Chains A and B, each alone.
Chain A
Amino acid sequence: MWDDREFQPLPAAALQIRLIGGLLVVVVVVAVAVAVDFVIRRSTEIEPPVVIGVIPAAIGILLLVVVELALWLGWRATGWRLDERLFAMRSGVYTREWTGVPRDRVQSVLVATNPLQRWRGLATVTVRTAGAHTPAVVLNDVEEEAAEQVRLELAPGSMQGSG
């Protein structure tokens, strides 16, 4: 099901901006850790055996490896497919998911971009249904052209979507 070869993978640019996003998060975490380390040293006046910043840096490197690995695995596991019958998406690393939305059940399609996505020509596609538990299938970081194609084909009442 999720091993279907017809699934389109996310572009390499999607991995790029995800890795950058992960790096930014780790940098912020390390900065906070350094600040906490500094405050603790100043307030307790106990001289730890390691130089200031070494422990936060070690945590940061470990965190960076874990976060970037998770992002890479998530990117690799994500894919989408659009055929004459349905829009399908697969995702997840530990728990893998395959969600299929029949074309006739699509209520609306939303295409959105953030600055990082615009820089790399990517977009987020949200396919909404009337389902109560899965009201929307969100496909992050797909090429803008592909996003537009999905929107045109799936939007209710569109010429392409009627097939």
Chain B
Amino acid sequence: MSQDADPDDRTPQGGHTESDPPDQWRRLHPATILSDLVRRLPQVVVGLLLILNSSGGNRVIDTIQLVIGVVAIAPVIVRYVTARYRVDASLLRWREGLFRRHTVDVPRSRIQSIDSRVDLIGRAFGLETVVVSSAGGDSEVSVGLVDREAAARLRRELQRRGTAERSVDALPPPEPAPQTLAERSGSDVVRVVLTATETGDAVVVVVGVWLAIGALNVLDLLSGAALAGWISLATVATMILAVTTLTGLVSRAIGFRSEVQGRRVRVHQGILGRRSQEAPLVRVQAMTVRDSPVARRLGTEAVWADTADVSGGSGGERLLIDAVAPVGRWRWWAPTLAGTAAPNDAELRRVAPVSLRRRMIAATMQSLASVIVIVAAAVIVVEVNERGPTTWMIAGAVLCSIVAVRFGRAVLSYRHERWLIDDRDLVFVNGALNRTRTLVPRRRAQSVTVSANWFQRRLGVRNVHVDTAAPSISGAARDLYVRDAETLTDAVLATIDQTGGV
């Protein structure tokens, strides 16, 4: 990032064409104002109200209202008027701001990903926002709105790794045709929703639908009092959350497409607002495959490509390749996405048998803590409400459920946990009901941490955590025998390549 003012300020409006000089500052499309108005709607509404209310009679208060109103609305206009971008031989340059001019220079060689976002305004006018991310903190540039042609050209220019020697005058070579990995449609909605591997999503959707049905029943009664009681703020909030979650899940089916084009992986999704995520294949750190009990019944898995954290702490990208991929399809994609062949399941190794003992003891201790908390809560409730039998029945049921879940999870997670290291890859399988398989090419490891608490040291086992540049994955194996942990650690550290990067 740097502060500067460029003397060259020729600014064609609404993007540009292939014939534009490549080093010219380019402006955003005027519809950017409309998009920003929608994006900052609450702020704009407050600003307008203040301006319209600024003729009350008290001059000082009116002036203050007017100033605050203008300040609230101004950013929308200022961004369009002042925002410029251009692509130099080695830099993507972005500047905006009136009083404080903000200039971001992103070296083209450091660009990690180029995404495309289309909001409702963009769809209406045929425009999009190109989001360029580079490694390092605070290094995301959103160029938009620009027209589709300008966006395509910007992407093509940036996809070539720029160097000082290269000129952008020459048009980039034509890209190969995209190779579709997965394409979903409306007919997959039910499967996607049913196999959602995030338990929280499923709970929110079920509760939201249940609340909605309850609210509708009450509406039938046409009783104002009952309506007020039912449709409380929490109910409405849960229903909104459920709709949002459901929309998120549905967008993994309707209009979803993942593809590989050249050396980049790209995912298109969204129903009203379309979004295209893109990352260079070289930045894919690992692959994650998840399934749930329902997904196993239906013979599907969700597959992600985990990329390096490119946006300075805001979280790395996890590109969903397919929410309902047929079981084992990820093996076909592994050579393309992760640059490695997936190891055979028969080679996977179990964790040390003493691990079950450790997990059972941990579950026992956690259950005892739950017993203390729930019994204490029940005693207080009984003291206050004097409903002894009912309270103790509920407390007993809750306690039994918690204990059953804890022990069940301990046993299942032990049964399903696996790990493997071969010549090229590391594989970790974790989870009790929802199972996650993480495939990490060994060359992607950044560091290795071995840990053991007092109890694990007594049992002679260790946890091994292999860190990569992708924040979305956790490559960890729990309760390996010391010998296995040392073998794994030495093997990972011995084969890290000499590139020094991510």
Please give the residue numbers on chain A whose beta carbons come within 8 Å of chain B beta carbons, in ascending order: 1, 85-86, 92, 94-102, 104-105, 129-134, 137, 156
Contacts and interface: CB of A to CB of B under 8 A. Distances in A.
A130 B452 contact: no
Contacts of A94: 453-454
A86 to B, nearest CB: 6
A131 B467 contact: yes
Given A104-B500, A105-B446, A132 B453 contact: no
Given A85-B493, A104-B499, A104-B500, A96 B457 contact: yes
A156 B500 CA distance: 8
Contact of B451 (A85, A95, A133, A137): A95
Nearest to B453: A95
Interface residues of B, number: 36
Interface string B102-143: 000000000000000000000000000000000000000000
A104 B443 CA distance: 11
A132 B471 CA distance: 5
B316 interface: yes
B453 A100 contact: no
B496 A105 contact: yes
A132 B451 contact: no
A100 B451 CA distance: 12
Given A95-B453, A102-B447, A137-B447, A132 B470 contact: yes
B486 interface: yes
A1 B450 contact: yes
B253 interface: no
22 contacts: A1-B450, A1-B486, A85-B494, A86-B493, A92-B451, A94-B453, A94-B454, A96-B457, A97-B450, A99-B447, A99-B449, A99-B450, A100-B493, A102-B447, A102-B493, A130-B309, A131-B467, A132-B467, A132-B468, A133-B465, A134-B465, A137-B447
Nearest to B462: A1
A100 B448 contact: yes
B293 to A, nearest CB: 28
A160 to B, nearest CB: 15
Query: Among the interface residues B447, B469, B501, which one has the most CB atoms of the partner chain A within 10 A?
Result: B447
A92 B471 CA distance: 24
Contacts of A92: 451
Contact of B468 (A95, A100, A131, A156): A131
Interface in B430-479: 445-454, 457, 462, 465, 467-472, 474
A96 B498 contact: no
B66 interface: no
B481 to A, nearest CB: 13
B468 A134 contact: no
B308 interface: yes
Contacts of B422: none
B451 A134 contact: no
A99 B450 CA distance: 6
A86 B492 CA distance: 12
A133 B466 CA distance: 9
A130 B501 contact: yes
Nearest to B471: A132
Given A131-B467, A131-B468, A156-B500, A105 B450 contact: no
